[in-house]
Amino acid sequence: MSLSFLTKQGQAIESVFDDLAKLRISVFRDYPYLYEGTEEYEKEYLKIYSNSDSSFLFAIYDGEKMVGATTCIPLRDETEDIQAPFKEAGFDIGSIFYFGESILLSQYRGLGLGHRFFDAREEYAESFGTFKTTCFCSVERINHPAEPADYRPNDTFWIKRGYKKVPNLKATMEWPDIGEKISTPKSMIFWMRETV
């Protein structure tokens, strides 16, 4: 296994949209997301990163193949559905850095790369000196029939990284589940960590 690491910022992220779209579709097909994605939709969605001067990508390649990636972006540059819960709760969205996906093909897990993802994003967010909080959200699936018997949520890992679940801070996102053509709403719960 010969892994290499790549970082990009702002508009430069667009140069790896193809790789990132394929990886997102592959990883998010698994539980708990069960995402039936298309590359066309992904590339349109990912434009949010190329449209922000302050967005950041950290990617892992095995040879020519992207096998892992993570992104982050100031919350003020995110979509309204991500911003809305913070605005409604009275947060200053200008002081928050939002962490997007943290995705890794299954055969590369257990190598400490998840920590590399968080280290890279936290270091990048803190380099601005103006963001007091980092956050991300995760899908909430309760008693879902597709949950594997051996499924373990990432909660323990996130808590060790200093993040706290904020149960009353939720967003709704929509996507089609595997085998479906129509998007349905999903509840997303936020996790937050103070940087100062």
- Which mean pLDDT values do the consecutive 10-residue runs of the chain (196 residues) have? 93 97 96 93 94 98 96 97 96 97 94 95 96 96 90 94 96 93 94 90
- Of the candidates 116, 9, 19, which has an alpha carbon nearest to the alpha carbon of residue 67? 19
Cβ(3)–Cβ(82) below 8 Å: no
According to the model, what pLDDT value does residue 1 have?
66
Nearest-angstrom CA–CA distance, 63 and 4: 8
| Residue type at position 99 | F
Cβ(25)–Cβ(42) below 8 Å: yes
According to the model, what pLDDT value does residue 195 have?
85
Q: Which CATH class is domain 3-194?
A: alpha beta
How much is the pTM? Answer: 0.95
**CB count, 10 Å around CB of 172?**
11
Task: Return left, alpha or beta for 173; rule: phi > 0 is left, psi -120 to 50 is alpha, else beta.
Answer: beta
According to the model, what pLDDT value does residue 196 have?
67
- Phi and psi, residue 90, nearest 5°: 85, 15
Nearest-angstrom CA–CA distance, 15 and 177: 28
According to the model, what pLDDT value does residue 92 have?
96
According to the model, what pLDDT value does residue 161 have?
96
